[in-house]
Structure 1
Amino acid sequence: MAVQGVLKEGCRRVVGNGVDTIIGLDPWLPDDDNLYVETELHQFVFGAQLASEFLPTRDALAAKRVSCSLDCHMCRFAAESALHLFVNCAEARRVWNLVGVPQLNNYAGDNISDWNESVWKGSVHNSALVVQRALDFLEGWRGANQEHRVNGANQEHRVHWKKPRLGRLKLNTDVSGRQEDGQMGLGWVLRGDDNGGFLAAKNVLVAGTYLVKEAEALCVREALSWLKATGLGRVEVEMDSQLVCNAIRSVSFSSAFGYLVDDVKDLASEIEGVEFYFVKRSVNRAAHSVSREAFSVSGCGEWLDSPPSFLVNFLHSDLMN
């Protein structure tokens, strides 16, 4: 009976549903001035626990009976675990200090390729290089995922296809996928001669399944590679992936997607007057029909001057609109 007053004052209380509740983000304390639990360690521990489920730390590899040294690949002085990497490692602390983060509440360590180099080949860890690569990746990721409003023309949200500007060509690209077959169809349509007339179309079948953004970037890369071989230029490239379009206009960053985007940029620099535009799917129906045709009985093909029969209605509809 003596503890009733303490319980009523809030010693025990329900916070959230118990599933999505987070200690550092939900109001736990019965204090109007500060409802939140504050500690310098809880976020680090949480991050380490989360990382231990996914990162190939040496203790995790050893637990799976992979033969490798247990020494930390960064400091070389202690056994490597997620908790060590986030909290205790002297090299990790140096990384956080270099980026001006006094507490280890955000992990910005090596990418997986660097990690593998250290684990399997014994490469020397470089804190400054880790920081630079992490910041470069973050800048690239932010650039690829934010809206660009510098050029209003590049942010058109048209619902109908529009002819290219005078003296230019228009190249629409799109992807179709069939996961059950483990294949993707890439397709593109080139139109121009100031009236939006058909010039060429092509599709290819690619083995494997990719993330949508990677597949879209791959399609743009292949379309530009094809265009370069024709010797044509002054082209407006349209795609229905805003993320890919934004990434092409952003700084480079290291990832499978980033490398594909870099290929697109390199090819564009070798072709005269390439411009990239994001459009709605309704604008891109012709290219989508070409990519989908890659799965048909007739298979892949390249059409010059005269469009294939399956494409005629789409081209006519675009011109009418």
Structure 2
Amino acid sequence: MRVSELMREDGLGWDTGRIAQLLLPFERDRVMNLRMSPNRQRDIWYWGRERDGIYTVRSAYNLIAGDVSDMASSEALATKSNIAARIGGECSSYLFCSSFIESSLHLFRDCGVAKWVWEELGIEYGTNGEGGEIRDWVEQVWKEMSATECGVGIEVHTTAGRRRREIGDGRDSDNAEGWKVAGDGYVKINVDARVKEGEGVGTGIVCRDGRGEVAWGLSVVWDESWEAHEAEAMAVLDGLEEAARRGVLKVEVESDSLIVIEALRTQKQGRSIFFHIIDDIVALVSHFQSVRWLHTNRLNNCIAHALAHLVPRVVGRFVWSSVLPSTANAAVLFDRSLIK
């Protein structure tokens, strides 16, 4: 049996009658919960180890050689201390903090920037331990946290120093603290996503009117295993779909995912799930008079962040008009204090 045999003839939805006839109840629920693209797109092959879905020798090598944690454990990372040990010469201080020798253990655990990243992610295990060797720390961390949490921490940490320098240099104007209300008849829609192993994916969306007041909020929980950037893109799609249903014509969309905002600004194409979601968003934009894409930081995105974490494990769609759940009140009050 092929997947196409479970779809309607127009290819835009599931054939509920055939699914009920062929599948068991728990299988029906799983299939019906899979979101289908509203656009007719032919099936293609894509390589999951690259964001654009195109196979590369580099990504295949990385798959075979192992992930960053394996490289760190075997001191295979290109830190200044490892390079000095191999080819000789002096081992200079770490680029991010300019205080200590750039070793694998300092890179991921002991540096102040590393501690800040683990704390921002809410992962207390990342800073556990003193002294010892990198392989001991990696083993300890992997016992405590999921692979997803560790991967996110490593990815965020490797970009933290660059992003903080950009903000300090004034090169990241989108990421400044505080936000402006949408003018000229626009509404502002902020989106965020939660990805946690065993709890599916949650998206949080808040729409604010021209005065900065909450117009409506939305949280959607999916029984899926998306990557963080895929979930962030789905949050944009969820938000725009709700806005279209409400007859909104002019929208500013804000997200703290630079990957998503840049993909929407450039309308870059690829073969992965991420780019299929981007294609669906671009197609939906035609329902509006105007859409603006803005990048912001997590602080300015606090309401959407709260809504994304509001309803874990319960698959479904939750909508609020003007008055959000009481558990999001603190985020709403704090958000108002950031209006410029």
TM-score by length of 2: 0.47
Between Structure 1 and Structure 2, the one with more helix by share is: 2
Structure number, greater radius of gyration: 1
TM-score by length of 1: 0.50
